[in-house]
Amino acid sequence: MMQIDLQKELNGANGPLQLDVKLDVQVGSFTSIYGRSGAGKTSILRMLAGLMTPDKGTIQVNNIIWFDMAQSINVSPQKRNVGFVFQDYTLFPNMDVKEQLTYALRKGDDSSVVQKLLDIMDLVKLKDAYPKTLSGGQKQRVALARALVQKPRLLLLDEPFAALDRGMRVKLQDYVLEAHVLFGLTTIMVSHDIAEIYKMSDLTIVIDDGKVTKLGKPQDIFANHEVSGKFQFTGEVVTIVEQDFLLIISILIGSDFVKVIGSRDEVGPLKIGDKVMVASKAFNPIVKIIKS
């Protein structure tokens, strides 16, 4: 169990912001933090990594204290053994992919982990490539592999896929999930992408104004309360075709496209890229076996 209790005054966009977050995270779970910009999400990750010092509070991981203001304990970032991946891949320009990973090894570490990560992240063919020749998705895979070299207990992801296109984002999500399971990581991710949070997390925390406003399974937080197997999804608007008074709206739900007939009165100023809820009465859908 990871017990987090953090208080810090932050300089928010609208003046000072009092961050006050108490949270228990199961070891081995995948937790997402969702909230508006400037709500304090990244600061939570930075305090967990030891890159920012809370004003008050404690961080305890499996009964080991990382931070306790009262006892003047503040374990250094290196000793916390935390992997951190940001939105903008911070790779060394003068190192090839394999060197980026080898550089992250500590003295006495088994170097076979580098090969293993190159395998998992599909980087074997790119091991001699330099960052300037890599695509955004490839760079982020390297950053992720590098964060895992030291076999961290805790992996912190700060909107790691936000700069990538959807196809690449979906692939990277799969890599992260694979690594999360394989390495038995406890992962905490800041994300704005509800579909991504749905796919990846066990627990979602909504932060507003420095406080936890909601906590629960993603389906309980983003869908309606007590959803009981009804025909309701969240997706992203891909195309809108207007025909007379009707709109034919294509929506990406997970990796499936659906088309929905709507009207302007119904949806208002809908635009491409909007996140939407798609709901139908549970009586309409048809179920057919395609494989049994």
Summarize as ranges the residues that interact with other proteins (CB under 8 A): 224-226, 228-232, 243-246, 261, 263, 265-266, 277, 279-283
- Alpha-carbon gap, residue 248 to 269, rounded angstroms: 14
Least separation in angstroms between residue 149's CB and other proteins is 45
Token look-up 């394989």 returns: 182
CB 24 within 8 A of CB 194: no
CA nearest to 61, candidates 21, 32, 27, 33: 27
Least separation in angstroms between residue 259's CB and other proteins is 13
Nearer to other proteins (CB atom), residue 124 or residue 261? 261
Nearer to other proteins (CB atom), residue 36 or residue 230? 230
Least separation in angstroms between residue 37's CB and other proteins is 22
Nearer to other proteins (CB atom), residue 108 or residue 285? 285
Nearer to other proteins (CB atom), residue 89 or residue 222? 222
Residue-wise burial string across 199-236, b where 16 or more C-beta atoms lie within 10 A, e elsewhere: bbbebbbbbebbbbeeeeebeebbbeeeeeeeeebbbb
Least separation in angstroms between residue 245's CB and other proteins is 5
Q: Which amino acid is at 64?
A: I
Token look-up 């891949």 returns: 89
- Alpha-carbon gap, residue 43 to 54, rounded angstroms: 9
Q: Which amino acid is at 35?
A: G
- Alpha-carbon gap, residue 41 to 162, rounded angstroms: 15
What's phi and psi for 271, nearest 5 deg? -135, 165
Nearer to other proteins (CB atom), residue 66 or residue 233? 233
Nearer to other proteins (CB atom), residue 89 or residue 198? 198
Least separation in angstroms between residue 18's CB and other proteins is 23
Least separation in angstroms between residue 227's CB and other proteins is 10
Write down how long the chain is: 292
